[in-house]
């Protein structure tokens, strides 16, 4: 067992859980303060609960037993309860066996599926931000917070971002604000998105000036390949006119 201390269960990101599974952990348990007994004003334990419910549905979607992820709430004074739930979870995980084995997925296939979801974690958090921040009144309401159909649609309708070379004016705003340096371009050079690096955060779509409107959202169809580097240079209007008047 490996214990990782955080100041609030709300700090445990979806990506952390996926990373643990990607690194071969057989189970992940998150311990948080009792609901409505948060030490801060943030009630991050609700965020943790919502994240776990979402992650369990994603696990189901990729063929991983959702029982490998658990969240338990208790107060700092309930050491015995902590020991009990850890023992219980340990037994459960032991019974499930090594990751992927009881789930009947090939190790490599599982790894690539987890990596695929990890890459989409920022996108998933943006798309599901309202539900992830919700605080429902009754415990039973949490049962259907995320549905299987919803998760299927989430992965089916993934949005990709593409820069229309006809519209890009090389203002460089998107490249400066991309959090993962996925946009390649320079002054007077049409910008292109490296789809391998892009985490689909949508920032470029938001910041591209409306008068250019060069960034497009694409869903359900392949993203066009980037234009070759030698065709990316933007020629100014005056130069174009000059070129046209040359004999």
Q: Using CB under 6 A as the criterion, which residues of the chain lie in contact with ligand SF4 when the complex forms?
A: 161, 163, 168-174, 178, 180, 182-183, 185, 191, 193, 198-204, 208, 212, 214-215
Q: Which is nearer to ligand SF4, 57 or 191 (CB)?
A: 191
In the complex, what is the shortest distance from the CB of residue 48 to ligand SF4, in angstroms, rounded to a whole number?
25
Q: Which is nearer to ligand SF4, 154 or 170 (CB)?
A: 170
In the complex, what is the shortest distance from the CB of residue 180 to ligand SF4, in angstroms, rounded to a whole number?
5
Closest CA to 179 of 190, 165, 193, 160: 193
In the complex, what is the shortest distance from the CB of residue 154 to ligand SF4, in angstroms, rounded to a whole number?
16
Q: Which is nearer to ligand SF4, 117 or 174 (CB)?
A: 174
In the complex, what is the shortest distance from the CB of residue 172 to ligand SF4, in angstroms, rounded to a whole number?
5
Q: Which is nearer to ligand SF4, 2 or 211 (CB)?
A: 211
Q: Which is nearer to ligand SF4, 82 or 172 (CB)?
A: 172
* DSSP secondary structure string for all residues of the chain: ------S-GGG--HHHHHHHHHTT-S-EEEEEPPTT--SSSS-HHHHHHHHHHHHHHHHHHTT--GGGEEEEE--TT-HHHHHHHHHHHHHHHHHH-STTTTTT--HHHHHHHHHHHHHHHHHHHHHTHHHHT---SSGGGGGGSS-HHHHHHHHHT--EEEE-TTT-----HHHHH-TT--EE--TTB--EE-TTT-----HHHHHS-TTT--EEEE-SSPPPPPPPGGG-BPPPHHHHHHHHH--
In the complex, what is the shortest distance from the CB of residue 168 to ligand SF4, in angstroms, rounded to a whole number?
3
Tell the residue number behind the tokens 């955060």, with chain if given: 201
Q: Which is nearer to ligand SF4, 64 or 168 (CB)?
A: 168
Tell the residue number behind the tokens 């519209």, with chain if given: 167
In the complex, what is the shortest distance from the CB of residue 202 to ligand SF4, in angstroms, rounded to a whole number?
5
Q: Which is nearer to ligand SF4, 29 or 182 (CB)?
A: 182
In the complex, what is the shortest distance from the CB of residue 211 to ligand SF4, in angstroms, rounded to a whole number?
9
Ramachandran angles phi, psi of 138, nearest 5°? -105, 145
């Amino acid at each position: 067992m490996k214990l990782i201390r955080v100041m609030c269960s709300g700090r445990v990101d979806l990506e952390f859980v996926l990373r643990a599974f990607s690194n071969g952990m057989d189970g992940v348990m998150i311990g948080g303060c009792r609901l409505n007994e948060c030490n801060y004003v943030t009630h991050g334990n609700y965020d943790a609960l919502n994240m776990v419910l979402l992650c369990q549905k994603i696990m189901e979607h990729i063929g991983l037993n959702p029982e490998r992820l658990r969240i338990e709430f208790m107060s700092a004074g309930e050491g015995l309860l902590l020991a009990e739930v850890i023992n219980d979870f340990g037994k459960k995980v032991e019974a499930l066996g090594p990751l992927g084995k009881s789930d009947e997925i090939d190790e490599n296939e599982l790894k690539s599926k987890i990596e695929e979801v990890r890459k989409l974690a920022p996108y998933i958090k943006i798309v599901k931000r309202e539900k992830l921040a919700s605080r429902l009144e009754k415990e039973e309401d949490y049962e259907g917070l995320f549905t299987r159909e919803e998760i299927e649609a989430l992965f089916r309708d993934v949005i990709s971002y593409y820069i229309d070379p006809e519209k890009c004016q090389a203002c460089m705003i998107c490249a400066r604000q991309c959090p993962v340096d996925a946009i390649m371009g320079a002054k007077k050079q049409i910008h292109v998105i490296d789809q391998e690096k892009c985490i689909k955060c949508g920032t470029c779509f938001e910041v591209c000036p409306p008068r250019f409107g060069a960034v497009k959202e694409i869903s359900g169809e392949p993203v066009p390949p980037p234009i070759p580097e030698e065709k990316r240079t933007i020629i100014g209007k005056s130069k174009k006119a000059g070129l046209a008047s040359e004999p």
